Structure 1
Amino acid sequence: MLSIFAPHFFNWTEQLKDSGHEVYWLDIFDSNTKVEQIDFAKQIIGWRYRWDHPGRYFLKKKASGITRLINNFNERKFQQQLEKQIKRIEPDVVHSFVMYLGGVPALPVMEKFPGIKWAYTAWGSDMYYYRKQPEHLEGMKRTLPHMDYMFADCQRDHNIAKEHGFKGRFLGVYPGGGGFDFESLDPFMRDQENRNIILVKGYQGLHGKCISVLKAILELGVELNSYRIVVFGAAPEVFKFVETSALKEFKNLEVYGKLTYQNLMEMMGQSCIYIGNSSSDGMPNTLLEAIIMEVFPIQSNPGGATAEIIEHKKNGLLIVDPENSRAIAELLKEAIDNPESRKNAINWNSERIKPNLERKRVRKRVLEAYQKIEEDL
């Protein structure tokens, strides 16, 4: 498995525990940190630097030019390490996570081993956004024809992959980090009548568009006085916007940076409405978390990914333009004015979507997908 150090990857890989597969992980950027969550996997870390010289972090921060010079001699290259490990391990399958991190850089090596099956997992904006970047698109088009299998978190990305040269076997759509452990989350669930939080994802920047949601909240003003408005995972730009706008006078607004998973789930269990807004994403993991925690979703829909599970005005509301704060305000007003519609949507999601996100059920499907690869060997 080729991946960066990422919770999504660890959650996915954990599904292979006690499955009978021998699993190796090559940490692409080498965080040099052993991960207990996947302690059953053989973790290839600590490979990047020949010599971890004194003062390396100080030089990296204060003298980047000297660091680059030293690294010309001291830093091992990912492709060299990958080739070395393939020769040592002799794997049946190499599984790359994220095209421009674990896919394209591995291509020159994988071309030397045509007999090894190659699987790929697309996450988030991996296909949708980076296909618009000429350099990334070129790499994608070179790499996809060589890949034998594909997993994705939405059908949209399989369609994009086929457009750009993927001719292999699509193994299905799965939550990016595998399924969810309902039993551990049940204690955080409140009855609907005891929920009063409007929960907002605070990402802002290349893809995240939280500020458009905050502007919508400003427009509604006093209509939201009876709710706690909670922003989580707030980017620095979000904190700045709140401090420099009329939102700083909102007594019912709380803004948090990064929350632990447990804290976020506790917040979800108290929420009646969730809003996630971005210009590029796959199937948003936080949207899935909102569904399993029985929260009414208002979510952006880049490339139609969200519409694969949310039908507008049936089991949630879709944001068409992530920059249009007025339209977002109208959606939020529609949600707060129609509690019966929210209840129906939550019931529909809980009956039709939530069961398919349960961890044991997802793991069964994932292991069946790997079994299909094994049958092809």
Structure 2
Amino acid sequence: MKILMVAIPNHHFFQWVNQLKDSGYEVFWFDISDGGSVVAKISWVRQIKGWKLKWVFPFRNRIKSSVPKIYSYFQKYNEFDLASVFEQKINEIQPDIVHCFEMNLSGLPILNVMNKHKKISFIYSSWGSDMFYFKEHGIQKIQVALFLERVDYLITDCKRDYRIAVRNGFKNKFIGVFPGNGGVTFSPEFIQTEKKRNIILVKGYESFGCKASKVIEALQLVPITLLQNFEIVIYSADEIIIEKIKKSAFFDNLKLKIYPRAIFIANEDLLKVMGVTCIHISNNISDGMPNTLLESMGMGAFPIQSNPGNASEEVISHGVNGYLITDPLDGAAIAVLIEKAINNPELRIRAQEHNVNFIQKKYNRSYLKKEIVQIYQDVFLNQ
């Protein structure tokens, strides 16, 4: 069986595709952005890269940064047409299945080609704010409907997005809800008891639908005497968040550690931090089922999580095993939740026991591997 994956270079995609290693399938990856070099972590996959530029001229990156308008004009004539290249690869590979990850960047650009090859089974994995926020991505409703009409099989990372797809015309086979990264490899030996948890961990994204700035505002409304018992760790922090913290004297008297977004943190290392995290906070106005939410809950951290489109409530019952942020733009309300979580260790203990058991059973990578491998076999046999 030949499977052609279509995706941008993305850590979650790499984790998903690695679930198929040693499956016996012949797997190809069309890097739709043609970004970067060959990816070592999926070296067993046949990677289609270097397809975009007709001529890789000297000092290209310098010209791009110094005279971007001239560079953009020239690139109109220096890039191969994506659809033409993809169709050429379809004809060369003759895949049994094409699987695209994310609609806007990976699905819509190949739609016309897939419409020419109706006999090839087409799987689409919805990611993050893909379906929920398609209008904000500049995608028209008719484009979504035409895309979903061609999709034979749908995978989502939350139930919400399946319902959205159905409302927008999807009528074919729903495979089910799977985490976008294919599951989490949990490390039970790093899961500490409540008494040994001394970190408040904050996801530092501040772009598009991500609103870490409101969490930073909220922390400054919490009595500092409560926060002084913890180390505040901001990970994947965008530059605007780093600057916001630097400008605030509030954080001068707190234990603080910042990991900029540009600095890669190995997933295993992040899980270790989550294993000693008391409270994990992530705030967005648009998202699917965040992998970091599942990871933090599985490692025993108490979640304070935004709930766009009610996706997060699929795993969090407010006041039972975490807190849901109802208004991601209300820093004062988020501050109230942080203070309540700090002052309620009994709730955190109960939540940890529930979350570790629930998340590790439902999202454990080793448990999901067999199901994910079987997806492609079932699609192939149903052709």
Pairwise TM-score range, normalised by the shorter structure = over 0.9
Q: Report the TM-score when normalising by structure 1.
A: 0.95
Change (3 A) 1:80 1:266: same
Equivalent residue in structure 2 for 1:68, among 65, 68, 72: 72
Q: Does 1:268 align with 2:274?
A: yes
TM-fit CA distance, 1:368: 2.2
CA distance in 2, matches of 1:10, 1:176: 10
Q: Retained in 1: the 8 A contact 2:218–2:332?
A: yes
CA displacement at 1:267 relative to structure 2: 1.8
The answer for the alignment partner of 1:250 in structure 2 is 253
Please state whether the residue corresponding to 1:310 is helix, strand or coil: coil
Is the aligned partner of 1:112 residue 2:116? yes
2: distance between equivalents of 1:136 and 1:256? 37
- Inter-partner Cα distance in structure 2 for 1:240 and 1:333: 24
Alpha carbons of structure 1 residues 251 and 334: separation in structure 2 relative to 1, 3 Å: closer
Query: What is aligned with 1:123?
Result: 127
Report the equivalent of 2:225. 222
Letter in 1 for 2:367: R
Residue among 342, 348, 351 paired with 2:357: 351
1:209 CA displacement: 1.2
In structure 1, runs of 5+ residues without a counterpart are: none
Alignment correspondent of 1:152: 156
1:17 aligns with 2:21: yes
Which of 363, 367, 371 matches 2:377? 371
Superposed CA deviations along residues 207-227 of structure 1, whole A, max 9, x for unmatched, are 111121122211112222211
* Distance in 1 separating the partners of 2:300 and 2:336: 22
Pair 1:316-2:319 in alignment:
no
Helix, strand or coil at the partner of 1:274: strand
Cα distance in 1 for partners of 2:350, 2:130 equals 33
Select 1:89's aligned residue among 88, 93, 99. Answer: 93
- Counting only pairs closer than 5 Å after superposition, residues 28-39 of structure 1 correspond to structure 2 as 28-39=32-43
- Matched AA of 1:355: K
* Residue number among 153, 162, 182 corresponding to 1:178 in the alignment: 182
Q: Which AA in structure 1 matches 2:317?
A: E
Q: Which letter maps to 1:280?
A: S
* Alignment partners' CA distance in 1, 2:278 and 2:339: 13
Separation (CA, whole Å) in 2 of partners of 1:91 and 1:292? 37
Q: Does the alignment pair 1:5 with 2:16? A: no
SS at 2:207's partner residue?
A: coil
Contact 1:10 1:38 in 2 (8 A): yes
Corresponding residue of 1:188:
190
Question: What corresponds to 2:300 in structure 1?
Answer: 294
SS in 1 for 2:327: coil
Question: For residues 79 and 147 of structure 1, do their structure 2 counterparts lie closer, same or farther at Cα, with a shift above 3 Å needed?
Answer: same
User: Cα offset for 1:67?
Assistant: 2.2
The alignment partner of 2:20 has SS state of coil
Contact map agreement 1:100 1:140 (CA 8 A) in 2 = no
Give the secondary structure class of the aligned counterpart of 1:219. Answer: coil
Q: Which runs of 4+ in 1 moved over 4 A?
A: none
- Say whether the 8 Å CA contact 1:218–1:246 is kept in structure 2: no
What TM-score do you get using the length of structure 2 for normalisation? 0.94
Structure 1 residues 131 and 181: alpha-carbon distance in aligned structure 2, compared to 1, 3 A threshold:
same
| 1:100–1:136 contact (8 Å) kept in structure 2 | no
The answer for the alignment partner of 1:330 in structure 2 is 336
Query: Structure 2 regions of 5+ residues with no counterpart?
Result: none
Query: Aligned partners of 2:336 and 2:201: how far apart in 1?
Result: 17
Paired residue type of 2:249: A
Kindly indicate whether residue 235 of structure 2 is the aligned counterpart of residue 232 of structure 1: yes
Match of 1:287, SS state, is: helix
Q: 1:205 aligns with which of 204, 207, 211?
A: 207
CA distance in 2, matches of 1:141, 1:174: 23
2:298–2:357 Cα contact (<8 Å) kept: no
- Supply the distance in 1 between the matched residues of 2:55 and 2:201 (Cα, whole angstroms): 47
1:280 equivalent in structure 2: 286
Distance 1:352 1:233 in 2: 26
State the superposition RMSD in angstroms: 1.6
Q: Count matched residues.
A: 375
Check whether the contact 2:213–2:241 (CA below 8 A) recurs between aligned residues: yes
One-letter identity of the residue aligned with 1:243: K
What letter is aligned with 2:376? Y
* SS of 2:214 mapped into structure 1: helix
Matched residues, percent identical? 40
1:119 Cα deviation from its structure 2 partner: 0.7
Aligned-residue offset at 1:347: 0.5
**Alpha-carbon distance between aligned partners in 2 of 1:256 and 1:69, rounded to the nearest angstrom:** 37
How far does residue 327 in structure 1 lie from its aligned partner after superposition? 1.2
**8 Å contact kept, 2:194–2:348:** no
Q: Are the aligned partners of 2:232 and 2:254 in contact in 1 as well (CA < 8 Å)?
A: no
Structure 1 counterpart SS, 2:116:
coil
Q: Which amino acid aligns with 2:231?
A: R
Q: Which residue of 2 aligns with 1:241?
A: 244
Name the aligned partner's letter for residue 270 of structure 2.
L
